[in-house]
Homo-oligomer: A and B are copies of this chain.
Amino acid sequence: MAYVVAVVGATGAVGNEMLRVLESRDFPVGDIRPLASARSAGREVHFHGRTVPVRELRADSFQGVDLALFSAGAERSRNFAPEAVRAGALVVDNSSAFRMQPDVPLVVPEVNPEAANAHRGLIANPNCSTIQMVVALRPVREAFGLRRIVVATYQSVSGTGAGAMRELERGTRAHLDGTTETPEVYPHPIAFNCLPHIDVFDAEGNTREEIKMRDETRKIFGDPAIAVVATCVRVPVFRAHSEAVVAETDRPVDLSALRQALERAPGVVLVDAPGRYPLAREAAGRDEVFVGRLRLQSDDPRTLAMWVVADNLRKGAATNAVQIAELVYGIAPRREEVRV
């Protein structure tokens, strides 16, 4: 069995990563169809050593497509994902367009694989910041319950896209050279700075990224009572998001039992020894979620601190999307060796 796979937004940062993940996991691709807006159509992408032309995304692009991986923004997902479903494709959508619709599963395969069963042709891929956090927290929740999460993020610019990566490089060089940069992608300079502003603000002063972390976490865990207080911050890092996560549990945490659970947990790599902890630059290009800095306050065994790092383009987007397809199709992926 091999699948006809469309990648919508194939020329973007996540779309490119989807092609790389399909390759590295040996996903059984019979035919690949890179799609993009008219502006990018005619460009070429590489797949398993071949050069493949990018076609224009249109309503009739999905005839004969088995799997459509969307990562071209919420508006294009709203316009074209229903067409793909109508044409019979399984859609895995990386945008925020459908995530909170009650009839659309929001799936992280290591956390709530059973939710995928209810799909009606479309499954939503969660936000990058949410994915890595829930992968790390699932073993915590299973063993000790989960009441509240306070999280501060250190998010890389690749989450914004390739233009933001160029802006970080340009702004960094300008600052080091003592010249002035004019930011275009971000509202303020990102070089040597921290911007507590990801996505738009709501009336209560939260950003939409912060609200996504709350609402998506509740939906994935199937528990609307979990409190999530998030502060989402863009930092001058090219790739991989870091998160300072503080979890309040129902029951006292046994740290050594938790360490064992995290070592067994799918998709998790525990990096937790004195002086050893996960780092963005080491997680870049990797598919796993790296967890470390596990700590309890001596007077409070129900408050667990941890440091969670993952590549936002891989596990935070492309890898999770391909894993969802593997889950639905019952494909056992070729797992790469864990190299830690």
Contacts and interface: CB of A to CB of B under 8 A. Distances in A.
Contact of A275 (B197, B235, B280, B293): B197
A281 B150 CA distance: 26
Interface residues of A, number: 50
Contact of A192 (B237, B244, B272): B237
Contacts of A235: 154, 194, 235-236
Most buried by B among A172, A192, A279, A303: A192
Interface in A195-229: 195-197, 201, 204-206, 227, 229
B277 A193 contact: no
A238 interface: yes
Contact of A237 (B173, B196, B236, B300): B236
A294 interface: yes
Given A173-B176, A279-B193, A305 B154 contact: no
A305 B231 CA distance: 8
Given A237-B236, A295-B205, A295-B206, A194 B229 contact: no
Contact of A201 (B275, B298, B300): B275
A154 B233 contact: yes
Contacts of A206: 295
Contact of A205 (B150, B176, B197, B293): B293
A169 to B, nearest CB: 6
B192 A281 contact: yes
Given A237-B236, A295-B206, A298-B204, A231 B152 contact: yes
Contacts of A275: 187, 197, 201
A317 to B, nearest CB: 19
Given A246-B229, A293-B196, A307-B231, A189 B281 contact: yes
A205 B169 CA distance: 35
Contacts of A193: 237, 279-281
B227 A244 contact: no
A152 B204 CA distance: 22
A205 B187 CA distance: 37
A330 interface: no
A30 interface: no
A169 B178 CA distance: 12
29 contacts: A150-B246, A152-B152, A154-B154, A154-B194, A169-B176, A187-B275, A188-B279, A188-B281, A189-B281, A192-B236, A192-B281, A194-B235, A194-B237, A194-B242, A194-B280, A201-B274, A201-B275, A206-B295, A227-B299, A227-B303, A229-B246, A229-B297, A229-B303, A231-B305, A231-B307, A233-B242, A233-B244, A235-B235, A236-B237
Interface of A: 150, 152, 154, 169, 172-173, 176, 187-189, 192-197, 201, 204-206, 227, 229, 231, 233, 235-238, 242, 244, 246, 272, 274-275, 277, 279-281, 292-300, 303, 305, 307
